[in-house]
Structures are given as structure tokens and as C-alpha cells.
Homo-oligomer: A and B are copies of this chain.
Amino acid sequence: MTTALLTDHYELTMVQAALDAGTANRRSLFDLFTRRLPEGRRYGVVAGLGRALDAIDAFRFGDAELGFLLERGIIRENLADWLSDFRFTGDIWGYPEGEVYFPGSPVLSVEGTFAEACILETVLLSIYNHDSAIAAAGSRMTAMAGERSCAEMGSRRAGEWAAVAAARAAYITGFASTSNLEAGRTYGIPTIGTAAHSFTLLHDTEEEAFSAQIDSLGEDTTLLVDTYDVEAAIRKGIELTGGRLGAIRLDSGDLAIMARQARDLLDDLGATHTRIMVTSDLDEWQIALLQGAPVDGYGVGTSLVTGSGHPTCGFVYKLVARASSDEPDAALISVGKRSKGKNTLGGRKFAMRRRGEDGRAESEVIGLGAPPANDGNDRDLLIPIVTGGERVYSATLEDARRRHIDSLAELPLAARRISKGDPALETLILDETGTLTTNPYQAAPVVTNI
């Protein structure tokens, strides 16, 4: 399946006009970044890079795509010729998946000809804006869950393919599993699930349903116990398994109270190893509220896959430097628009997390045109991802999970608070001489840009 048409019309008309004007091959550098975090959020989480690289690999214009574009008059023959053997040949570097980011962090930089870097804009932004929004929410949830296990169960509340990506992003932030089978197949994420209310209702009695489930799935299964009467259901489940039932799931009512009552009942019945899983409208605040309840695992749906109030990030993709002329070896010059409230910091960026001697992160440092000085405690953030068109980034999802744990661990403790607050780190912009300059994003309004 090609990703080439997951692209805004204007990317191609721009490339058409640049091709006609002879400027399409000017070396260009685009940054993908956000001017600010969603209101009250203390950090962002990079997710989507692995998928973005797959999307670049699949960014191919076949006869069907070119035929459509020509027929609609969106491109002409000279652009069709160019697109017909399109393959990104430039360089990409950026933050690895799982890394945290802040306003102005250059999470992805794409350098190539204007044409090849420009036409990737839409699909890169779609993937980053979606996946990182889920990751930001997921990270807050796993932080509140602590040692308890979180399962992603939101597929039914998200577009059917977005759901697969959401499961992947949630996994990066420490979710243990997903309900989504395609995410299991495509990304190797553990999948879980046993039964819904419909299974109980299909049978003449709850006992028949439970027996059928236990016979088929084993005593270690999870029984959903709130179809009729929770206490009666728990007693039945324990009776049918001789106390060896794996878990119960509570999906309605006041979960803190119900979990307490269920735990007491299970313990009274001798089922001290039967776990309690809760679902139903969980978000990071609900998970926090349930910290004192005897819950073993959380199943999270809607709130996770919709970014817990922020279903998209504010990532934009901006031309920040380009060749000063059409000569092949022309030097890059910084560029940036001056639109009201949406100005862009031009130039090539370097990024570093400044850390104290104790390893604690102190600020996000962006160097313009030159790397900021690293005193040995600091950590460089940019890694090569694509070099000369070849993918060099090979981190696995497990790597991303570790990266997330590590980068979160070095942030100030306040970063993990779910109440509204400022970004956990200030972003400092240094010019080529290492001098602090104004950060245009820190106080900018949230903007949409198309």
C-alpha cells in the first residue's frame, strides 16, 4: 500500500511550481517541532519515528497514483516523470522514539532537495502528531499506575488503522499489552482479552457462560463479573475454578469501592491469587485515584487513544534553511517566516539535554548552527536516522520503551505530576557563539498551521 497520496494537494503543486521555476533542487532543511506543548502538559513524548520511516519507504508513485494526479490536473508530465522514480535520497536526524521533548525541540530534521523534503511533510506530520499525542497521554497513565500493569484497549474509539498506531505508541510508554490484534501481528506487542458482556448474555445463565469460558480458555482466564450481580458472579467464578480463577474484571460502578469489596470477597473465598482488573472510562486521574484500591491492572481505552484531551500535538514542519542559490554546492542560509504569532526560528539546530552532576536534567538546549558545549554531564539528543537515503536508525520498540523510562527518570520529579503545569524543562536557545538568544516559542499561542 503506497503512502504517496497521504499527502496534501499543495505539496505537489509547490513541487510542480518549483520544478517549473528551476528551484526544486535547492538543498533544503525542514524541522519538525512544536511551538508549545498542549496546555498544562509538562513534557511531550516522541512516538511515530519507526512508522514514519516505514511510510517513507512506502512513499512510491505508481501508475495508478500518477494517473490520478495527471487526470485531475494536479501535476504535469515533468513532475510525473520525477515522481515516477521518487526515492528519498537525503538525510534525516532527530530524537529517538521514547525520548521526551519540549517546545522548540527539533525532534526531526529532514535535509534534501526542496522537492524531496517538501513532499514528505503531510505524512510525517500525520504520524508524529497522532502517535506522539497518544504517547504523551500514555506516559502520564503508566506514571500513575506505577508497578501495576496497563493494557491498551481503545481500538473501538479510534479510526481503525489509527488504533494500531495507538497501541504501538502506548507500548512505547510502558503499556504492557493491547487488545488490538493487528498491533500484535505488526509490532509484536502482547495482546490480551477474554470476553465481553455479550458472551454472558448469549448463554442462558451466567454459570453456563463462565463454564464455557473456563472450559475453553482455562482457569487462569479473566471473568467479567458485572453483567448481573457482581458478588454472585465472583462467587460463581471461584466455585467453578476451585479458587484458581486468574482474574476478574470490573467494568462499571465506583471502581474503588467495588475493587475493595471484590478483594475482600475473593480473599474470604480463599482466592487470594485471583487478580482484579478494572476498565471503564479510565484516564490518568482515575488511575491516580485508584492507587489506594486493591487493583492489579488497568484497561484503558477512550482517554488513551484520544490523547486524554489533546488528540493531536502541535507539530509543524518548517523550512528553516535552504541553498542560497541553484549552484550544487551553495551554502545553506537560514530562513523563517514572520507571520504573526507563528514566526519560525531558522537555521540548523543541535539539541542537548543539560544535566547536573547528579544526572538530573536541567534544561533543553538548542544550538543554532553549532552544537552547544557539553560539560560531560550533558546528553546529546540527536541521532542519525537516514543518511544519504539509507535508513540507519534501527531501534526496536523495546529500545524505545527503555529510552522512555530513562529520559523520564532524569527529569525533575515535578515532570510526573498530572496537574497542569509548565514544561518540566526550559528550552534555551544558544547562537553559534554559545550566547543565549530569545526563544520565540516559549510563550507563543497554540496555533494550527496548514
Contact = CB atoms under 8 A, between A and B. Distances in A.
A23 B74 CA distance: 55
Contacts of A1: 1
Given A26-B202, A251-B339, 10 more contacts: A3-B160, A7-B155, A13-B193, A13-B217, A18-B212, A20-B212, A197-B319, A201-B322, A280-B450, A301-B450
Given A9-B192, A338-B227, A160 B302 contact: no
A179 B8 contact: yes
Contacts of A127: 159-160
Given A5-B181, A21-B216, A450-B299, A30 B198 contact: yes
A285 interface: no
A342 B198 CA distance: 13
Contact of A195 (B17, B121, B184): B17
A191 B74 CA distance: 9
Contact of A337 (B114, B228, B341): B228
A201 B337 contact: yes
A252 interface: yes
A407 interface: no
A142 interface: no
Interface in A154-202: 154-166, 179-182, 184-185, 191-202
Interface residues of A, number: 115
Interface stretch (A65-73, A348-356, A380-388): A65-73
Interface string A124-168: 011101110000000000000000000001111111111111100
Copies in the complex: 2
8 contacts: A6-B163, A9-B192, A10-B195, A13-B194, A14-B196, A18-B202, A251-B449, A280-B450
Given A26-B202, A195-B10, A202-B26, A162 B158 contact: yes
Given A21-B216, A185-B68, A337-B228, A8 B155 contact: yes
A82 B118 CA distance: 48
Given A16-B217, A126-B163, A342-B252, A198 B318 contact: yes
A14 B280 contact: no
A268 to B, nearest CB: 22
A5 B185 contact: yes
A372 to B, nearest CB: 25
A279 interface: yes
A153 B450 contact: yes
B9 A184 contact: yes
A181 B15 CA distance: 15
Contact of A311 (B198, B200, B228, B311): B311
B448 A302 contact: yes
Given A195-B10, A338-B228, A155 B301 contact: no
Given A8-B153, A10-B194, A14-B199, A126 B160 contact: yes
A162 B165 CA distance: 11
Contacts of A21: 203, 208, 211-212, 215-216
A448 B281 contact: yes
A306 interface: yes
Contacts of A179: 8-10, 122, 450
A227 B114 CA distance: 18
A328 interface: no
Nearest to A321: B201
A127 to B, nearest CB: 6
A226 interface: yes
